[in-house]
Amino acid sequence: MRKVIAFLLALAPAAFTADMPCFRWENFTTANGLPDNHVFNVAVDGKRVWAATENGLGLYENGTWKVYRPEDGLVHRAVLWVAPDKRTGDVWIATMGGLSRFSAGRFDTYTQLTSGLANDVVYGVAVLGDYVWVATAAGGSRFNTRTGQWSLYNERNTPMYEIWTYAVTATPSKVYYAVWGGGVLEYDVKTDHWKDYNDPDGETEIVLYKDQGLIHEITTSVSYVEKDKVLWVATYFGASRYDGRNWKNFLDKDSGLPSNFLNQVKAVDGNHAWFSTDKGLAYYDGENWAVYRPALDTHRPEMLVRDAAGKVTRTETETAPAHNYILGVDFDGDDIWVATAKGLSHGIRVK
């Protein structure tokens, strides 16, 4: 009981500074069943949690882990992304050697040689109705699960001047690709029209025009909020938010981002988003920021809060995500699951 009270008291300064969510973290590694400690992505699927790791696909269910690897039918051991289909119960798995579908207890395989997949290096996958959208190292692909037809998207039929598509997100009205070195590619579902968004200054590492467009061409993740019509973009040199008229860019020097190196952005709505960086997990509520991580110097668990005025409060906490190198996040009600370079973390909300 005294530990709980001490924990809550330790959080009090941060809570006083800004009303930020606080979590009790439990961490998973190979020691307690995770397939590999390097976790690229995590996906919450009802009561199931899928972990995409460097050495297999992990399924956490009823408090235990089950591991799938090539000997079980998975197309490749290095899993980069997992996308459950809430409608059918199928699970689509992006790997370094092709695309897998896990359905009714068995795996189906799609590769460049056996299907219309653009390339076997598959970075991301998104499911929208009958369509499965795929991001590969040589362009995008779309699979119609009802007809079995594939469509390919590259520099020949879209404004994609780079074909290394690194992530994809799909909603009823828009589909977005994060194109490595090529900005963001938008597909309008209603008009069947493609449009691109690029860094206006074109400089590799220098931001000349802060809020006049996408902050950088090297995009790693996109998250679109359908109801608010807001696009969030993660890059290796900061983050961007676009509301259809105005851009807002975020850098570590003028926001609560702990780093400009972003692996993923996951939006809650048009004003709230989570950012996976190489120096911790960041949360933005439209005004204030919070960062959750093991401290970079002492490695002790900490929470940083930056309020709208720029004041930063640092608080030691009882627990933290498994590592400060964050690769992805997904939501489980008020809780969150976090993929890191040294394990998978479950954040159980306490406030």
**Number of folded domains in the chain?**
1
Torsional sign, CA 107, 108, 111, 117: negative
pLDDT < 50: residue spans in the chain:
1-17
Q: Where are the beta strands (DSSP E) in 214-272?
A: 219-225, 230-235, 238-242, 247-250, 262-267
Which pLDDT score is estimated for 52? 98
Burial class from Cβ neighbours inside 10 Å (0-12, 13-18, 19+) for residue 343 reads buried
Question: How would you write 28-73 as a 3-class SS string?
Answer: ECHHHCCCCCCEEEEEEECCEEEEEECCEEEEEECCEEEEECHHHC
Q: How far is CA 226 from the centre of its chain?
A: 17
pLDDT in tens, 265-295: 999 999 999 999 999 999 999 999 999 999 9
Which pLDDT score is estimated for 18? 59
CB atoms closer than 10 angstroms to residue 263: 22
CB atoms closer than 10 angstroms to residue 282: 28
Domain range for residue 83?
A: 2-349
pLDDT in tens, 319-342: 999 999 999 999 999 999 999 999
Distance separating alpha carbons of residues 8 and 14, to the nearest angstrom: 10
Question: Taking a C-beta distance cutoff of 8 angstroms, is the pair 350, 55 a contact?
Answer: no
The backbone torsions φ and ψ at residue 189, rounded to the nearest 5 degrees and listed phi first, read -60, -40
- CA 66 vs CA 35, 49, 56: distances in Å: 8, 11, 10
Contacts of 179 (CB under 8 A, 6+ apart): 160, 162, 163, 164, 165, 166, 185, 196, 219
Report the predicted TM-score, pTM, of the whole model to 2 decimal places: 0.93
Question: Taking a C-beta distance cutoff of 8 angstroms, is the pair 231, 241 a contact?
Answer: yes
Q: What is the DSSP letter of 214?
A: -
Percent helix, strand and coil across the chain, each to the nearest 5 = 5, 50, 45
What CATH number is attached to the domain comprising 277?
A: 2.130.10.10
